[in-house]
Amino acid sequence: MEDLLSLAIDEARKQGASFAEARFQNTTILFLEFLNGKIRNSNFNSYKGVGIRVLVENSFGFSSTNILNKESIIECVNRAIKIAKTNKRKSKIEIEKTRAYKDTIFVKPKTTLFDADLDEFIKEIKELDKRIQEIESRVMIRVFFFAGVNEEKLYMNSDGSRIEHRIPIVNLTRFFTVIDPQKGVLQRSRSEGGSSGLEYLKELKIEEKALEDAKILGQILDKGEKLKESGYYDVVIDGEITGLISHESCGHPFEADRILGREAAQGGESYVKLEMLKKEKIGSDVLTIVDNPLIEKSLGFYVYDEEGVPARKKYLIKNGVVEELLLNREYAAKLSTVSNGSARATAYFNEPLIRMSNTYIEPGDYSVEELIEDVKKGVYFKSYMEWNIDDRRWNQKYGGLEAYLIENGEIKGFLRNPVLEVTTGQLYKSIDAVGKDLKFEAGLCGKGEPMQGVPVWFGGPTIRARRLWIK
């Protein structure tokens, strides 16, 4: 494969490309879907191909093929060069110059997808399904989606970089519907996974968490009450939701391409402006949010990005101040700085874009009990179903699922579907304490056109925010 990628880069340079990169990707995915303890769908996918991006005169050009021979690769280069040259773009695209890297990153799981004992895994899910029904018979619809992925990538560019990644992924999503003819319907969806083999699902204690979900859903149905009065409450928010908050209202708006309008037609723009960098305080002193691809076993794990730049931990917000943006080589050049290794692509046929990896609020030193004991009148959000945020990442909503009323420092009864609808500014400035219980959630982050989903973790500890409007 290396020969074909070298050929592509040489051919592109011969035809006038000032920069060329070629990415080979070979991805195999096993999906199993279980409905009420039976396998509903078994699906195996295998995709491989090469994507070639060239920079010619003022324009990028991109082309891809799944036919992996010399003729097809040359044809692919020709298409990318031709369409780039046809572009009458006036302003010049530049990319930040970086040194060449050569490296190989293998994550070797204990059990690869094809050595795994699927029979045993299938039995475990069926057994779990039975135990869920024993704990809460009203969980009438139980769906589990398993995805096991093996991914090999070879990246080469005209700077001389050659980087190979082999990373496996496992992910298990559960979706429960609890139905009680008198008390109503509740639903819960949750994903967990990481860059590892099948054995990792045990480390994540998914069985324990799924059983706890079933039990709690039943209790919410039986005991949950609507919030009696909308109003200002102090709010304690679990890491399941603070992770989503860090991803949606910090990670996305800190993508430099979004700030500078490249995603304006789809994902939108940002409340962050370049002049805010290192100056503007948008959160309280206790709020620090980072993006870090170097967490082993995480879903957002990578060591070099898809432009051959080494990955590193980035502080996006530090003690409330806008600290650093997510950059690729193009946007680093626009800002006269260096890339921080944030370019990712879902598949060989996708252009690399500025993306998050593992985004989270850095933990503080409070226990959850300490966060709650200082609340006179509050709401404790532990989990959610519905959420959304506007395309400048300012106006957001979280529909609580497991949630409790807090009175005089004590957790009282279950609340049914309380809603936090708030702006990023209100939320970030109202945080007065951060817990030490950092945890991560699995997600698939969407961006670009065609939509590219990349695996990420988003995380955070429990936090406390003062005086937010709860409905």
Altogether, the residues listed in the chain come to a count of: 471
**What six digits make up the tokens of 198?**
């099948």
Our CA angle for 297, 299, 304, nearest 5°, is: 85
**Which member of 83, 211, 277, 338 binds other proteins (CB under 8 A)?**
83
The amino acid present at 365, given as its one-letter code, is: D
Quick one: three-class SS letters along 92-120? CCCCCCCCCCEEEEECCCCCCCCCCCHHH
Least distance in angstroms from the C-beta of 353 to other proteins = 10
**Which member of 325, 389, 438, 445 binds other proteins (CB under 8 A)?**
389
Closer CB to other proteins, 76 or 107, in the complex: 76
**Which member of 10, 14, 70, 89 binds other proteins (CB under 8 A)?**
89
**Which member of 71, 88, 208, 228 binds other proteins (CB under 8 A)?**
88
Candidate segments 13-21, 185-193, 204-212, 282-290, binder of other proteins by CB under 8 A: 185-193
Distance between CA atoms of 323 and 131, rounded to whole angstroms? Answer: 47
**What six digits make up the tokens of 74?**
């040359």
Label residue 336 exposed, middle or buried (CB < 10 Å: 0-12, 13-18, 19+): exposed
With binding defined as CB under 8 A, does residue 229 bind other proteins? no
Residue 440, SS3?
A: strand
Distance between CA atoms of 315 and 359, rounded to whole angstroms? Answer: 10
Q: Are 276 and 254 in contact (CB under 8 A)?
A: no
Over the window 368 to 387, marking each residue x when it contacts other proteins by CB under 8 A and - when it does not, the resulting string is -----------------xxx
Distance between CA atoms of 26 and 348, rounded to whole angstroms? Answer: 8
- Residue 398 pairs with which residues in a beta bridge? 387, 420
Our CA angle for 363, 367, 372, nearest 5°, is: 115
With binding defined as CB under 8 A, does residue 409 bind other proteins? no
Closer CB to other proteins, 374 or 421, in the complex: 421
Closer CB to other proteins, 160 or 446, in the complex: 446
Total residues binding other proteins (CB under 8 A): 81
Least distance in angstroms from the C-beta of 30 to other proteins = 8
With binding defined as CB under 8 A, does residue 59 bind other proteins? yes
Which 310-339 positions form the footprint of other proteins (CB under 8 A)? none
**Which member of 1, 74, 143, 335 binds other proteins (CB under 8 A)?**
143
With binding defined as CB under 8 A, does residue 421 bind other proteins? yes
- Residue 344 pairs with which residues in a beta bridge? 353
Distance between CA atoms of 399 and 388, rounded to whole angstroms? Answer: 9
**Which member of 23, 24, 61, 445 binds other proteins (CB under 8 A)?**
61
Which residues have a Cβ under 8 Å from the Cβ of 114 and sit 6 or more positions away? 150
Distance between CA atoms of 369 and 439, rounded to whole angstroms? Answer: 17
With binding defined as CB under 8 A, does residue 263 bind other proteins? yes
Candidate segments 78-86, 151-159, 306-314, 436-444, binder of other proteins by CB under 8 A: 78-86
Closer CB to other proteins, 127 or 365, in the complex: 127
Which 144-163 positions form the footprint of other proteins (CB under 8 A)? none
Candidate segments 81-89, 164-172, 236-244, 332-340, binder of other proteins by CB under 8 A: 81-89
Distance between CA atoms of 116 and 148, rounded to whole angstroms? Answer: 10
Least distance in angstroms from the C-beta of 363 to other proteins = 27
**Which member of 173, 266, 319, 337 binds other proteins (CB under 8 A)?**
266
- Helix-then-strand count for the chain, H and E: 10, 24
With binding defined as CB under 8 A, does residue 260 bind other proteins? yes
Which residues have a Cβ under 8 Å from the Cβ of 122 and sit 6 or more positions away? 32, 39
**Which member of 190, 262, 344, 382 binds other proteins (CB under 8 A)?**
262
**Which member of 119, 134, 229, 275 binds other proteins (CB under 8 A)?**
119
Least distance in angstroms from the C-beta of 210 to other proteins = 15
Looking up tokens 């003690």 gives 319
Least distance in angstroms from the C-beta of 379 to other proteins = 14
**Which member of 181, 228, 265, 279 binds other proteins (CB under 8 A)?**
265
Over the window 340 to 369, marking each residue x when it contacts other proteins by CB under 8 A and - when it does not, the resulting string is ---------x-x------------------
With binding defined as CB under 8 A, does residue 451 bind other proteins? yes
Least distance in angstroms from the C-beta of 257 to other proteins = 9
Which residues have a Cβ under 8 Å from the Cβ of 413 and sit 6 or more positions away? 223, 224, 225, 404, 405
Least distance in angstroms from the C-beta of 83 to other proteins = 4
**Which member of 179, 294, 338, 411 binds other proteins (CB under 8 A)?**
179
Residue 155, SS3?
A: strand
Our CA angle for 155, 161, 163, nearest 5°, is: 40
Which residues have a Cβ under 8 Å from the Cβ of 144 and sit 6 or more positions away? 32, 33, 34, 125, 128, 129, 172, 173, 174, 175
